[in-house]
Structure 1
Amino acid sequence: MDAKGDLSRTFDTAAAGYQSARPAYPSALYQDLLDLTGLRRPARLLEIGCGPGKATGPLAGQGFQITALEPGPRLAEEARHNLVGLDVEVEASSFEDWQPTGDRFDLIYAATSWHWVDPEVKWAKAASLLAPGGHLAVFGAGHAFPEGFDPFFTEIQQTYDEIGEGVDGVWPPPPPDQLPDPSSDYEASGYFTVDAVRRYVWAQQYDADSYIALLNTFSGHIAMPPASRERLFDAVRAILGRRPDGLLTRHWVATLVVAHPR
């Protein structure tokens, strides 16, 4: 198994804490998704990499029928628990290994998971599974560094450097409005044409415990040597312990791409 495959499977070890630690996607993102795709009940959706159902519940709650794929067995079980009462079928399978039964979908979507799927498979397979007029939607939540971001993140970089987990490239990363447009990947696939790209930025506050819980859901942190991870967490507690309110502000950015098959 390659390094990327190894990391992709670490999330299953964080199944119990993933749902509460990861942020919800903005409601504006879901509204834009519905507006851009024209989805109406009872449309059929296929979700790739549903995790514990973070992005499944909001769409299932709109009355859509969802087949949700999740390769991690513990995450799949968490999703089934979290989505009780909704029209969702959770299958413990990767998209690459999943064997469709002939159904076609009005929307195929992936939330913070598309980059883990084999590019030799994902574009062609997704295009083949869409019904006429169907769409592919990809979005995810990542760390944003707008102007004036919390200096905590510059201070904690020293510890990341010391444990050999420093940032590749320049610091700080580019602000959200300078992030690259992902459209070229879709066009280069030969299977999709991009309809729209939307970007959303929001902020969330954390104390030491909730921020460490968040870090424990990231593949790179899960895979760290235990001593390095504990040293990092001690540094988080120390920095926030010097703040009167004990809080940090982390900004998030989500980029929604909606495309249709050629």
Structure 2
Amino acid sequence: MDTMDWIKQSKSFNKAADYYDVFRPSYPSEVIDCVEANTSLHAASKILEIGAGSGKATELFLNRGYELLCVEPGPQLAEIGVQKHKHNKVQYVVTRFEDWEEPRKGNDLVFSAQAFHWVPQPEGYKKCAEVLQPNGHLALFWNFYLCGESKLDKEIAELCKQYHAFTISSKEEIDERINRTSAEISNSGYFEAPSTYQFPWSHQEDVDSFIGFLNTTSSFLVLSESEQNKFIAELKLLFSTNGGVVSRYYICCLFITSRKLK
């Protein structure tokens, strides 16, 4: 993918801001438990979030009393986050992390949920290291979308693959991505080898909710209208064979690392 396609895809999230806030899944609370257990967070910690979106992961930290500074390039997403969390201790900076000209330094924790793969590397890791205090931590986590074992699960995954609309992965594919991400962090030169933690979870979803979710994914949004319509028609047919509801499976993987001290 060339640079312009990459930028176009990353900007698609802002255009789908309302869908994003309603249909994007959150994350297991155990992820925040794990971050707290493996870092030195305290009530006055300085926490920076990269790619906050409308504040899905933000909310999990705010609910525990932390104060957050959120970096989000999409103005519509940022506005939803500001309004949704206006009674909490949160501020938004509307810019891409790599373009942030005067970043706040001395942070105890920098974290990113479902977004760090949009940050160019190695500049992203370098900037994270620069804005952390010497004993600070970087926490990155993603919901990886796992294919279930049923015939219907596999048919839905294959249909998504056929239209290049969305990727639902096998456990082996997810493990490979986890290994690649761990190696990328280690090889960045700015951080120690990360500790990794996996949190499987699932929920049931009807076809309208799944289509709403697809409207938050960059690969679906860049399809032509005719391709989207054909894909949705076939998707509805598959869902109808199971009473209109399917189980969605996830593995939320958390990577925690500390600055490499020179």
Aligned to 1:254: 252
Larger % of helix: which?
2
1:112 maps onto 2:114 in alignment: yes
Q: 1-side partners of 2:229 and 2:103: how far apart? A: 46
- Secondary structure of 1:24's counterpart equals coil
Give the conservation status (yes or no) of the 8 Å contact 1:176–1:201: no
**RMSD of Structure 2 on Structure 1 (CA):** 2.1
2:52 paired residue number: 50
Query: Which residue, out of 4, 15, 28, partners 1:2?
Result: 4
Q: Secondary structure at the match of 1:198?
A: strand
Preserved CA contact (<8 Å) 2:147 2:170: yes
Match among 93, 96, 102 for residue 95 of structure 2: 93
CA contact (8 A) 1:127 1:192 kept: yes
Against the structure 1 CA distance between its residues 166 and 130, is the aligned structure 2 distance closer, same or farther, given a 3 Å change threshold?
closer
Deviations 1:66-122 (A, max 9, x none): 110100111111111111111100111110111235531000011011100010311
Give the structure 2 partner of residue 202 of structure 1: 201
Unaligned ranges ≥5, structure 2 = none
Letter of the structure 2 residue corresponding to residue 83 of structure 1: H
- TM-score (structure 2 length as normaliser): 0.90
Distance 2:6 2:63 in 1: 33
Change (3 A) 1:102 1:222: closer
Distance 2:18 2:165 in 1: 28
1:40-189 to structure 2, matched below 5 A, reads 40-100=42-102, 103-145=105-147, 148=149, 150-156=150-156, 159-160=159-160, 163=163, 165=164, 174=172, 176=174, 180-181=178-179, 182-189=181-188
Shift of 1:156: 3.3
Q: Any unmatched runs of 5+ in structure 1?
A: none
Distance in 2 between the 1:167 and 1:51 partners?
19
Partner of 2:231: 232
- 1:194 is displaced (CA, Å) by 2.8
* Structure 1 residues 146-167: Cα deviation after superposition (integer angstroms, max 9, x where no partner): 5x2x43342235644664x288
Cα separation, partners in 2 of 1:141 and 1:154, compared to 1, 3 Å: same
Q: How many residues align?
A: 256
Query: What is the CA–CA distance in structure 2 between the aligned matches of 1:199 and 1:224, rounded to whole Å?
Result: 32
Per the alignment, do residues 41 and 157 of structure 1 end up closer, same or farther by CA in structure 2, a change over 3 Å counting? closer
Identity among equivalent positions (%) equals: 27
CA distance in 1, matches of 2:175, 2:122: 30
User: What amino acid is aligned across from residue 189 of structure 1 in structure 2?
Assistant: S
Structure 1: distance between partners of 2:155 and 2:104: 53
Residues 69/162 of structure 1: CA separation in 2 closer, same or farther (3 Å cut): closer
Find the residue that maps to 2:15 and give its secondary structure.
Answer: helix
CA contact (8 A) 1:47 1:68 kept: yes
In structure 2, the partner of 1:16 is: 18
Any conservation in 2 of the 1:103–1:129 contact (CA below 8 Å)? Answer: yes
Which 4+ stretches in 1 moved above 4 angstroms?
A: 157-163, 175-179
